[in-house]
Amino acid sequence: MQEAAQHLLGTHDFSAFQSAGSPVPSPVRTLRRVSVSPGQASPLVTPEESRKLRFWSLEFESQSFLYRQVRRMTAVLVAVGLGALAPAQVKTILESRDPLGKHQARVAPAHGLFLKSWSQWWGGWADLAPG
Protein backbone atom coordinates (compact mmCIF):
# COMPACT_ATOMS: atom_id res chain seq x y z
CA MET A 1 0.00 0.00 0.00
CA GLN A 2 2.84 2.39 0.81
CA GLU A 3 4.46 1.66 -2.56
CA ALA A 4 1.16 2.36 -4.33
CA ALA A 5 0.66 5.57 -2.36
CA GLN A 6 3.97 6.95 -3.65
CA HIS A 7 2.43 7.22 -7.14
CA LEU A 8 0.01 9.81 -5.74
CA LEU A 9 2.66 12.13 -4.31
CA GLY A 10 3.35 15.40 -6.07
CA THR A 11 1.38 17.63 -8.41
CA HIS A 12 -1.05 15.76 -10.67
CA ASP A 13 -4.38 16.05 -12.40
CA PHE A 14 -6.49 14.08 -9.89
CA SER A 15 -9.59 13.92 -12.13
CA ALA A 16 -9.64 10.12 -11.75
CA PHE A 17 -10.17 10.54 -8.01
CA GLN A 18 -12.82 13.27 -7.99
CA SER A 19 -16.53 12.71 -7.99
CA ALA A 20 -17.75 12.58 -11.61
CA GLY A 21 -19.23 15.89 -12.73
CA SER A 22 -17.65 17.94 -9.97
CA PRO A 23 -17.64 21.62 -10.98
CA VAL A 24 -14.05 22.58 -10.26
CA PRO A 25 -11.93 25.03 -12.27
CA SER A 26 -8.88 22.77 -12.13
CA PRO A 27 -8.47 19.19 -10.94
CA VAL A 28 -4.74 19.72 -10.43
CA ARG A 29 -3.71 19.30 -6.82
CA THR A 30 -0.44 18.73 -4.97
CA LEU A 31 -0.36 15.85 -2.54
CA ARG A 32 2.48 16.80 -0.19
CA ARG A 33 2.42 13.73 2.01
CA VAL A 34 0.80 10.34 2.10
CA SER A 35 1.38 7.84 4.88
CA VAL A 36 0.16 4.26 5.20
CA SER A 37 0.84 2.45 8.45
CA PRO A 38 -0.71 -0.24 10.63
CA GLY A 39 -3.31 1.31 12.89
CA GLN A 40 -4.59 0.56 16.35
CA ALA A 41 -7.71 -1.49 16.89
CA SER A 42 -10.92 0.46 17.16
CA PRO A 43 -12.51 0.81 20.59
CA LEU A 44 -15.84 0.28 18.82
CA VAL A 45 -15.25 -3.41 18.13
CA THR A 46 -14.97 -6.29 20.56
CA PRO A 47 -11.55 -7.82 21.30
CA GLU A 48 -12.65 -10.99 19.47
CA GLU A 49 -13.56 -8.99 16.35
CA SER A 50 -10.39 -6.94 16.65
CA ARG A 51 -8.21 -10.06 16.43
CA LYS A 52 -9.84 -10.95 13.08
CA LEU A 53 -9.42 -7.50 11.53
CA ARG A 54 -6.46 -5.45 10.35
CA PHE A 55 -6.58 -1.72 10.98
CA TRP A 56 -4.68 0.81 8.89
CA SER A 57 -3.97 4.49 9.26
CA LEU A 58 -3.86 6.47 6.01
CA GLU A 59 -2.90 10.13 6.15
CA PHE A 60 -3.02 12.59 3.23
CA GLU A 61 -1.69 16.15 3.29
CA SER A 62 -2.50 18.77 0.66
CA GLN A 63 -3.42 22.43 0.41
CA SER A 64 -6.81 21.34 -0.95
CA PHE A 65 -8.64 18.24 -2.13
CA LEU A 66 -11.25 17.55 -4.77
CA TYR A 67 -14.71 16.37 -3.73
CA ARG A 68 -14.37 12.73 -2.58
CA GLN A 69 -10.69 12.61 -3.60
CA VAL A 70 -9.51 11.24 -0.25
CA ARG A 71 -12.28 8.64 -0.08
CA ARG A 72 -11.49 7.44 -3.61
CA MET A 73 -7.72 7.34 -3.02
CA THR A 74 -8.39 5.39 0.19
CA ALA A 75 -10.57 2.87 -1.66
CA VAL A 76 -7.90 2.30 -4.32
CA LEU A 77 -5.15 1.88 -1.71
CA VAL A 78 -7.30 -0.59 0.23
CA ALA A 79 -7.84 -2.52 -3.03
CA VAL A 80 -4.04 -2.72 -3.35
CA GLY A 81 -3.78 -3.92 0.25
CA LEU A 82 -6.36 -6.63 -0.45
CA GLY A 83 -4.50 -7.74 -3.58
CA ALA A 84 -7.26 -6.65 -5.99
CA LEU A 85 -4.90 -4.10 -7.61
CA ALA A 86 -1.15 -4.01 -8.13
CA PRO A 87 0.71 -0.95 -6.81
CA ALA A 88 1.66 0.10 -10.37
CA GLN A 89 -2.03 0.23 -11.33
CA VAL A 90 -2.46 3.28 -9.10
CA LYS A 91 -0.26 5.26 -11.49
CA THR A 92 -2.31 4.01 -14.45
CA ILE A 93 -5.55 5.04 -12.73
CA LEU A 94 -4.15 8.48 -11.90
CA GLU A 95 -2.98 9.02 -15.48
CA SER A 96 -6.35 7.91 -16.91
CA ARG A 97 -8.06 11.04 -15.53
CA ASP A 98 -11.31 9.07 -15.75
CA PRO A 99 -13.51 9.39 -12.63
CA LEU A 100 -15.86 6.72 -14.00
CA GLY A 101 -13.16 4.08 -14.50
CA LYS A 102 -13.62 0.55 -13.19
CA HIS A 103 -11.37 0.84 -10.14
CA GLN A 104 -11.68 4.49 -9.17
CA ALA A 105 -15.47 4.36 -9.05
CA ARG A 106 -15.06 2.79 -5.60
CA VAL A 107 -15.50 5.21 -2.72
CA ALA A 108 -14.44 4.41 0.83
CA PRO A 109 -17.34 4.83 3.25
CA ALA A 110 -17.30 8.01 5.31
CA HIS A 111 -17.41 6.19 8.66
CA GLY A 112 -13.91 5.65 9.97
CA LEU A 113 -12.54 8.65 8.08
CA PHE A 114 -11.93 11.90 9.91
CA LEU A 115 -10.06 15.16 9.70
CA LYS A 116 -6.99 14.92 11.91
CA SER A 117 -5.83 18.52 11.62
CA TRP A 118 -6.29 21.64 9.56
CA SER A 119 -4.06 24.65 8.92
CA GLN A 120 -5.04 27.99 7.43
CA TRP A 121 -2.92 30.80 6.02
CA TRP A 122 -3.66 34.15 7.70
CA GLY A 123 -0.44 35.99 7.08
CA GLY A 124 1.28 32.99 8.68
CA TRP A 125 0.36 29.39 9.19
CA ALA A 126 -2.02 28.91 12.09
CA ASP A 127 -2.09 25.25 13.02
CA LEU A 128 -5.47 24.35 14.38
CA ALA A 129 -4.63 20.77 15.28
CA PRO A 130 -5.83 19.72 18.71
CA GLY A 131 -3.30 19.44 21.49
pLDDT (tens digit per residue) in 32-74: 999 998 887 777 778 887 777 778 889 999 989 999 999 999 9
In order, the DSSP letters of 114-125 are: -----EEESSSE
CA distances from 42 to 14, 56, 77, 113, 119 (A): 31, 10, 20, 12, 26
Would 98 be classed as within a structural domain?
yes
Would 110 be classed as within a structural domain?
no
Mean pLDDT of 119-124: 60
Residue 3 has pLDDT above 70, yes or no: yes
Give the predicted TM-score (pTM) of the model. Answer: 0.82
- Total domains in the chain come to 1
Residue 93: φ, ψ to 5°: -65, -45
Read off the CATH number of the domain in which 67 is found: 3.30.70.660
Please write the tens of the pLDDT for every residue from 65-111: 999 999 999 999 999 999 999 999 999 999 999 988 887 678 888 87
CB 17 within 8 A of CB 94: yes
Residue 68: φ, ψ to 5°: 65, 10
Would 115 be classed as within a structural domain?
no
| pLDDT number for residue 78 | 92
| pLDDT number for residue 115 | 76
pLDDT bucket at 112, cuts 50 / 70 / 90: confident
| pLDDT number for residue 48 | 81
CA angle 59, 64, 68 (to 5 degrees): 70
Mean pLDDT of 2-24: 93
Would 2 be classed as within a structural domain?
yes
Would 113 be classed as within a structural domain?
no
| pLDDT number for residue 100 | 86
Would 112 be classed as within a structural domain?
no
| pLDDT number for residue 101 | 83
Instruction: Supply the DSSP symbol for 59.
Output: E
